[in-house]
A and B are shown apart, each in its own frame.
Chain A
Amino acid sequence: ELKVEQNPLFLSMQEGKNYTIYCNYSTTSDRLYWYRQDPGKSLESLFVLLSNGAVKQEGRLMASLDTKARLSTLHITAAVHDLSATYFCAVDMMNYGQNFVFGPGTRLSVLP
């Protein structure tokens, strides 16, 4: 079964703290994407990870990909309130007849 899982699904953290969101997927793929969604809004592309060992950083967010472990992480450094949103990972599963399969999302709330 083609599955993408995220952990945790809900995350409440204080400003200034660090945390990591995990994304596991069930099949081999070397393309993984992270998106951000504010409540009721569109999805905004954050990172595109295209190979094993890929690491991308933007501001307080850093994403990495381990295709052998079928795992991607989104690390948050010194969180600020503006990072409060839902974060989705998505895996390209075209080789299995699917397109982008999205994880359930991690709802992040950064408290002052």
Chain B
Amino acid sequence: DSGVTQTPKHLITATGQRVTLRCSPRSGDLSVYWYQQSLDQGLQFLIQYYNGEERAKGNILERFSAQQFPDLHSELNLSSLELGDSALYFCASSATGTRTGELFFGEGSRLTVL
């Protein structure tokens, strides 16, 4: 158990809909990262937050948005869903004040868009 909690674990929805994925980082970690893993694209970095502020942005679509709240949990919002958005979405957090920067991953949220 990495200590990173993601909900929901599974989600099935229809095209055009909107969903919200939630992540609670490990206790004490200020950084939260979101990754998308699909069969043909591998692990794609979406976005990083550090202590509530956006720190880095990757290949995140305009239909997707995220935020990190004062209690450090984060939410990833996916809207106008398309079939190609079906994927495993991972949240990860990293330790604060250490040099390693190692990421600890949650169990993922599997999104299926029908």
User: Which residues of A does B touch, CB under 8 Å?
Assistant: 31, 33, 35, 40-45, 48, 50, 88, 90, 92, 94, 97-105
On chain B, the residues within 8 Å of A102 by CB distance are 35, 42-43, 45
Q: How far is the CB of B112 from chain A (nearest CB, A)?
A: 13
Interface pair A33/B103, CB less than 8 Å apart: yes
* Complex alpha-carbon distance, A49 and B43, angstroms: 20
Q: Roughly how many angstroms separate A45 CA and B3 CA in the complex, as a whole number?
A: 13
Query: Once the chains bind, are B100 and A50 in contact (CB under 8 Å)?
Result: yes
**Are B105 and A100 in contact, CB atoms less than 8 angstroms apart?**
no
Question: What separation, in Å, do the CA atoms of A100 and B90 have in the docked complex?
Answer: 13
Instruction: Please tell me if the beta carbons of A98 and B56 are within 8 angstroms of each other in the complex.
Output: yes
* A contact residues around B103 at 8 Å (CB): 33, 43, 45, 90, 100
Q: Tell yes or no: B108 within 8 A of A by CB.
A: yes
Residues of A within 8 A of B42 (CB): 102-105
**Complex Cα distance A102/B33, Å?**
13
Find chain A residues with CB under 8 A from B2 CB.
42, 44
Q: Are B101 and A31 in contact (CB under 8 A)?
A: yes
Contact with A along B32-74 (1 / 0, CB 8 A): 0101000000110100100000001010000000000000000
